[in-house]
Amino acid sequence: MIIGVLELQGDFAKHHQILAKLGIESVPIKSYHDLEKVEGCIIPGGESTTLSILMERYKMINPIKSFGESFPILGTCAGLIMMAKSVLDNRILPLGLLDIRVNRNAYGRQIHSGTKTIQMHWKGSIFSIPATMIRAPKILEVGNNVKILSDWKGSPIAVMDGHHIGINFHPELNNVSLFHEILFQPKSKNYYKPNQEKNVS
């Protein structure tokens, strides 16, 4: 399985590192033609308005929508915003891959960013993982078929809709591979273990 990482803007390098750690080949996605080479995609964090402008400029909005009909996509922070069905900012052209409504930067400015320990629910297990939120978006509403994987102070922060996952934080900054494994190594039983937190820098 070859996974593409969107490299228009944002923190894409660490996603390549996470995939390499899992033994998954990854390639950069810089045009819609690159989607023909991959079986999954990651939309990394960054600045969502800039990302939206670049995706429109390079004519990637509709190709990614079409790609998402058949293949899994993981969106982190700004990637979550782009994957939403509705965003409270008319500068964003969302992909509509996740049936959620999102508000950008709802958890405050850069000074309010930080790392929390959250509980992640998956297949009957609970994983305690670090979650680094940087000007994080807030999920305001979720559709009936959206599964909430984790929440923070009563609001969803990680959701799954079909074969897509969106999270409002940056797992790649803490070497958390759980979400990458769920989407891109679905048969793996070697999920991230809580005792790995001691290795987090």
Spell out the domain ranges in the chain.
2-199
For residue 70, give the H/E element and its range: helix 61-70
Tens-level pLDDT at each residue, the chain (201 residues): 899 999 998 889 999 999 999 999 999 999 999 999 999 999 999 899 999 999 999 999 999 999 999 999 999 999 999 999 999 999 999 999 999 999 987 565 543 567 889 999 898 889 999 999 888 899 999 999 999 999 988 899 999 999 999 999 999 999 999 999 999 997 766 665 543 433 332
Q: What letter does residue 62 receive in the DSSP assignment?
A: H
Alpha carbon of 69 to those of 45, 95, 146, 162, 176: distances in Å? 22, 11, 16, 10, 26
Closest C-alpha to 32, from 15, 57, 1, 2: 57
pTM score of the predicted model: 0.90
Q: Is 77 a catalytic residue?
A: yes
Q: Is 41 a catalytic residue?
A: no
Which option is the CATH number for 2-199: 3.40.50.880, 3.40.50.620, 3.40.50.10860, 3.20.20.70?
A: 3.40.50.880
Q: Is 141 a catalytic residue?
A: no
Q: How far apart are CA 94 and CA 75, in angstroms?
A: 12
Which position among 16, 77, 164, 180 bears the catalytic label? 77
State the residue for tokens 């390549």: 16
Single-letter amino acid, residue 107:
Y
Q: How far apart are CA 45 and CA 76, in angstroms?
A: 5
